[in-house]
């Protein structure tokens, strides 16, 4: 197989917050971003639907020659990654890799709490999957984990309503509900790639001494070490510092929203995922 870019997948715009940090840590690679905006948000969708949509997106990224795909979406990582790795990949492309954002986060999260009480803010799908509870128990059995689903945050962020005062009510509501589960929480993980956009608002509703953790820098560090350990994948990644963006919805909409997440202007192309 010829070399190709690193595929980055998200249900919509959120993965751009991860891509931004990947590019700043590992700028030499080519990246191909796919946002399934036409079917976002995924947060409340069923296990099967998220699996089906994510697999279609992974297949499309493979059709664009990506040797490695990162699901830069917690909901897809929680609900689709394991089955893709175990069942789809061996048939589809045994020589390629699909990675998620939950494992790299849970491997290190326990090092950032003194009280051993961690809060997780995430979509309903991620919370209900129990993935963070299981994975953190695996790496840090002594840590207490508390979760809160924030179903209205992605719609508020995607509709650019998150800076308006009305959004504060829902930001405060979910933060309060999380903190009410344990007064000892001293670290909160933003376990949805959209949430860094409301980071400043969340921190306003947290008592002093509570730290917030975003995933971008964690995923970047983890990818760097993965590529060092896997030269068979690294050697197949194209290295021209080219960054391409695709959306399953209108490209003009994508371009007008994407820069909020990515930090600089984006020019996307439309795709139908009709690669089969």
Interacting residues with ligand DGL (CB under 6 A): 10-12, 14, 40-43, 73-75, 123, 126, 154, 192-194
- Say which residues have a Cβ less than 8 Å from residue 162's Cβ, sequence separation at least 6: 153, 156, 171, 197, 198, 201
Q: Tokens for 236?
A: 């197949």
| Least Å from the CB of residue 66 to ligand DGL | 19
| Least Å from the CB of residue 79 to ligand DGL | 10
What is the four-CA torsion angle of 170, 172, 178, 183, rounded to 10 degrees?
Answer: -170
Residue 206 annotated among the catalytic residues of the structure: no
| Least Å from the CB of residue 193 to ligand DGL | 4
Residue 150 annotated among the catalytic residues of the structure: no
What is the four-CA torsion angle of 221, 212, 105, 178, rounded to 10 degrees?
Answer: -170
Query: What is the residue-wise DSSP string for 47-94?
Result: HHHHHHHHHHHHHHHHHTT-SEEEE--HHHHHHTHHHIIIIIHHHH-T
What is the four-CA torsion angle of 59, 62, 63, 66, rounded to 10 degrees?
Answer: 160
| Least Å from the CB of residue 168 to ligand DGL | 21
Strand partners of residue 211:
187
Measured from the CB atom, is 120 or 237 closer to ligand DGL? 120
| Least Å from the CB of residue 28 to ligand DGL | 26
Q: Give me the catalytic one of 66, 73, 150, 206.
A: 73
- Say which residues have a Cβ less than 8 Å from residue 270's Cβ, sequence separation at least 6: 246, 247, 248, 249, 250, 251
Query: What is the residue-wise DSSP string for 224-259?
Result: HHHHHH-HHHHTTB--S--EEEEESS-HHHHHHHHH
Measured from the CB atom, is 113 or 126 closer to ligand DGL? 126
Measured from the CB atom, is 14 or 67 closer to ligand DGL? 14
Q: Give me the catalytic one of 66, 150, 192, 206.
A: 192
Strand partners of residue 120:
147, 189
Measured from the CB atom, is 4 or 196 closer to ligand DGL? 196
| Least Å from the CB of residue 77 to ligand DGL | 8
Measured from the CB atom, is 6 or 8 closer to ligand DGL? 8
Measured from the CB atom, is 220 or 237 closer to ligand DGL? 220
Active site residues: 73, 192
């Amino acid at each position: 197989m010829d070399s190709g870019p690193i595929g980055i997948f998200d249900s919509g715009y959120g993965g751009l917050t991860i891509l931004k940090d990947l590019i700043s840590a590992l700028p030499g690679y080519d990246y191909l971003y796919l946002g399934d905006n036409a079917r976002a948000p995924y947060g409340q969708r069923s296990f099967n639907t998220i699996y089906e949509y994510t697999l279609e997106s992974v297949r499309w990224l493979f059709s664009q020659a990506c040797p490695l795909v990162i699901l830069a979406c917690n909901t897809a990582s929680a609900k689709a990654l394991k089955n893709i790795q175990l069942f789809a990949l061996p048939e589809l492309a045994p020589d390629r890799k699909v990675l998620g954002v939950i494992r790299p986060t849970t491997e290190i999260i326990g090092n950032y709490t003194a009280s051993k009480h961690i809060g997780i803010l995430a979509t309903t799908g991620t919370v209900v999957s129990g993935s963070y509870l299981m994975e953190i128990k695996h790496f840090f059995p002594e840590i207490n984990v508390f979760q809160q689903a924030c179903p209205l945050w992605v719609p508020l962020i995607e509709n650019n309503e998150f800076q308006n005062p009305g959004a504060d009510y829902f930001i405060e509501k979910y933060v309060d509900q999380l903190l009410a589960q344990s007064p000892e929480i001293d670290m909160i993980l933003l376990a949805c790639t959209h949430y860094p956009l409301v980071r400043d608002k969340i921190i306003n509703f947290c008592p002093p001494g509570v730290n917030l953790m975003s995933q971008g820098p964690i995923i970047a560090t983890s990818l760097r070490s993965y590529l060092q350990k896997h030269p068979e994948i690294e050697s197949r990644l194209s290295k021209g510092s080219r960054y391409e963006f695709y959306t399953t919805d209108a490209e003009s909409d994508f371009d007008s929203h994407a820069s909020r997440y990515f930090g600089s202007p984006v020019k996307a192309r439309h795709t139908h995922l009709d690669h089969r």
